Amino acid sequence: MSSLLAQAKQFGVVLEDSRQRAASEDFQWYPYDSLSNVQHLEALIGSTHEYILDTARADRILDVGCADGDLAFFFESLGYNVTCIDHPASNQNDMQGLKALHRELRSAITIREIDVDNEFPVSGKYGLTFCLGLLYHLKNPFFVLHHLARVSRFCVLSTRIARRLPGGAPMPKGQALAYLLAEDELNLDDTNCWIFSEPGLRRLLHRTRWELVECFTTGDRVSSDPASLDHDERAFCLLKSHYGGQHLDLLEGWHHVEEAGWRWTERQFAAKATSHNRVKHTRIEIRMFAPPLMIEKFGSLTLRAEIDQAEVQPFVMRDPGIHVCMRKIPRPAEVTSVVFRLDNVLEPAAPDFRELGIIVVSLEFA
């Protein structure tokens, strides 16, 4: 048994003692073993991504849809600073279980009552977010994942997925689909909403600025059905946020992140990426939007780059719209820096007194 699992088992005894002490209170505890997720967490992180737990220790943990808070209290016992979010109306016991354990454990975790389907008043940065078993209960999963990407560096997510439609017909292979459940179609629970195909889940994560770092599924991997309790399949995902390039060390020349997650640059802008799994970077890919105004004014935009001080072939944009530039890294390395420079920019002028270079949608080191 691994160290984290062993500690979770020991803490489970502490939790049970706390529940016994609070047994006189009139509510039903969340009926599922939330600490069982620790085994999936370890499978996702393994030895390759242990640095994520260090990031979480430095930058806090966010637990969204925390039920009775078992996982949050466990990580607090390990010395992490944790914030819990749930909504009384959809929580098993109106969050009474969470608050009872908070009292019994004399906990310092932060509890916030938020209906994340309708608002997301969360700011700051969290090193790691848990979003376990919540996604298919959300009316607005795109909204929630987008906002989580704004405040989280990494996320461990689990949700139901399906390979077949109710009745057994297979979903078209490779298609990004979602099935909308009727109010009583799954477990007579009207909080069940969207069940995605695996490609649908991957598409949703990509559209909301998440990189899928690791993923595996459990349960029925052949006949999973969105409306069946007997054919349940779960996806467990380790995600890295790419919102605003926060997965990188952004150096000079970047303006603030826009609502959609992209950034304007100045004429010269730079970034650095560090590989935490000892795999050397071999290429970079920058996805950019060339505004029509700039193409009209200058005729073209030329982007030059130096990767680890080695100049690579320039990239020319002659048309407005999205452009993708890929370049090999001359000397593959675990830590890679790149400095970009544009030949033309919009000079500062009212009402926006910034030097505007290019709109960077994404910058990836692979």
Residue type at position 349: A
pLDDT for the residue numbered 276:
84
Structure tokens at 75: 């990580």
What CATH number labels 245-365?
Answer: 2.60.120.260
| 345 confidence band (pLDDT: 50, 70, 90) | very high
pLDDT tens string 288-298 = 999 999 999 99
| Whether the predicted pLDDT of 102 surpasses 70 | yes
Better-scored residue on pLDDT, 43 or 2: 43
The model's pTM: 0.92
| Whether the predicted pLDDT of 196 surpasses 50 | yes
Domain ranges of the chain: 3-242, 245-365
| Whether the predicted pLDDT of 47 surpasses 60 | yes
| Whether the predicted pLDDT of 2 surpasses 80 | no
Mean pLDDT of 268-293: 94
Beta strands in 133-252 (DSSP E): 152-161, 178-180, 194-196, 210-219, 233-241, 249-250
pLDDT for the residue numbered 209:
95
pLDDT for the residue numbered 3:
87
- Smallest Cα–Cα separation from 132: which of 179, 31, 52, 63? 63
Mean pLDDT of 322-329: 98
Mean pLDDT value across the chain: 96
| Whether the predicted pLDDT of 231 surpasses 80 | yes
| Whether the predicted pLDDT of 172 surpasses 60 | yes
| 1 confidence band (pLDDT: 50, 70, 90) | very low
pLDDT for the residue numbered 278:
82
Overall fold of domain 3-242: Rossmann fold (3.40.50)
**Span of 81-85, 287-291, 314-318, 350-354 with lowest mean pLDDT:** 350-354
Q: Are 61 and 83 in contact (CB under 8 A)?
A: yes
Mean pLDDT of 265-276: 96
For 46: left if phi > 0, alpha if psi spans -120 to 50, otherwise beta; the answer is left
pLDDT tens string 8-41 = 999 999 999 999 999 777 899 999 999 999 999 9
Mean pLDDT of 117-144: 97
